[in-house]
Amino acid sequence: MTFLGTGGSVPNKFRNLPSVLVRRGPELLLFDCGEGTQRQFLYARAGINRKMRILISHMHGDHVFGLPGMLHSLSLMGRTRELEIIGPKGVIGLVTSVNRVVRLYNRYPIRVREVKPGQVVKDEEYAIHVAAAQHGIPCLAYSFQENPKPGRFDTAQARKLGVPEGPLWKVLQSGKPVKIGKRRVIPRLVLGHPRRGVKLTYAVDTRPCSSVIKLAAGSDLLIHDSCFAESAASKAREYGHSTASEAARVAKRSKSRLLALFHISAMYEDASPLLTEARRVFHRTILPRDMETVSVVA
Ligand SMILES: [Zn+2]
Ligand SMILES: [Zn+2]
């Protein structure tokens, strides 16, 4: 995944507005679309015509003003495939009104869905769970979770059981039994325990809250609002954001494996004090720069 923009509210010289790109095989997920995202997206060379979903957390400008430009650029660059946009109430109105007034995009279909906390968006190999963040206006946190993967295939054991290498191995790997003469070989005999998939949680523009802790439980990576240092804790409370150490406490309580500090206020040219503060609470914390790429494995 690539952090396209890691700042919040207004951009500065170092940080663009929030957007996180997840590449999963040939598929793309984009969390939020702050202004300027299309440029970062093109730099990231993510591909124009892939299966793609954009997930919007809430209807504050710094998270959605990049959407018209993004949709427009994708069309000009030759996208023909359907694009899905998921977000809270208001996202349909935004896309349709921009399209009505500016007539941006007519080369590919756009499907927009409004979702609520508690909903689950299911795909073949993963699910995206939606929960409420705590931010003054309705704000959604998302957790992307891959389905468990089949266990490792024991080739020696398959041979021992008389299953010849070839298409029958594939059948067993897909979880179906095969017949060898009159004998049936069931997958359990040649497959290890199912392996859990990756879990990635995106919770920005939020106070630390129990619904996010619950959503994030056991995440391989938690991307959490970390707008301010502890010295500006009152600002965080006032504007519905979190300090770095509050984000770290959420990571700790949700038993996440790695925390990425995100949505850094433009007032910090050097945000390293935020990292120091967070690491005092939760050591496995990173402070990604714009365009930094991180591999997430289960
Ligand atoms: Zn924001
Ligand atoms: Zn906001």
What's the mean pLDDT in 237-254? 97
35 C-alpha to ligand 2 centroid (Å):
14
Distance between CA 186 and CA 143 in Å, rounded? 34
166 Cβ contact list (under 8 Å, min separation 6) = none
Hey, what are 227's tokens? 């707008």
The answer to whether 227 and 264 have CB atoms below 8 angstroms apart is: yes
46 C-alpha to ligand 1 centroid (Å):
24
Q: How many CA atoms lie within 13 A of 225 on its CB side?
A: 31
Q: Phi first, then psi: give them for residue 239, nearest 5 degrees.
A: -100, 5
Hey, what are 22's tokens? 């997840």
Distance between CA 48 and CA 218 in Å, rounded? 32
pLDDT computed for residue 193 by the predictor:
87
- Provide the pLDDT confidence category of residue 175 given band limits of 50, 70 and 90: confident
Distance between CA 142 and CA 126 in Å, rounded? 13
Q: Which of 198, 41, 207 is nearest to 139 (CA)?
A: 207
Nearest ligand by distance to the CA of 60: 2
180 C-alpha to ligand 1 centroid (Å):
60
Percent of the chain past pLDDT 70, that is, above it, reads 100
What are the residue numbers of the active site? 62
pLDDT computed for residue 105 by the predictor:
61
Nearest ligand by distance to the CA of 10: 1
The per-residue pLDDT of the chain, averaged, comes to 94
Which of 48-52, 179-183, 278-282 has the weakest average pLDDT?
179-183
210 Cβ contact list (under 8 Å, min separation 6) = none
- In the block, tokens 């024991």 appear at 154
196 Cβ contact list (under 8 Å, min separation 6) = 146, 148, 149, 298
Reported as a single tens digit per residue, the pLDDT across 114-142 is 999 999 999 999 999 999 999 999 999 99
Percent of the chain past pLDDT 90, that is, above it, reads 85
Reported as a single tens digit per residue, the pLDDT across 96-109 is 999 888 877 678 99
Nearest ligand by distance to the CA of 266: 1
60 C-alpha to ligand 1 centroid (Å):
6
Q: Phi first, then psi: give them for residue 66, nearest 5 degrees.
A: -80, -15
With H, G, I as helix, E, B as strand and everything else as coil, classify residue 275.
helix
- Provide the pLDDT confidence category of residue 36 given band limits of 50, 70 and 90: very high
Which of 35-44, 178-187, 211-220, 284-293 has the weakest average pLDDT?
178-187
Torsion of CA 144, 150, 155, 156, to 10 degrees: 120
Taking each helix axis from N to C end, the angle separating 244-253 and 272-281, rounded to the nearest 10 degrees, works out to 30
Reported as a single tens digit per residue, the pLDDT across 47-90 is 999 999 999 999 999 999 999 999 999 999 999 999 999 999 99
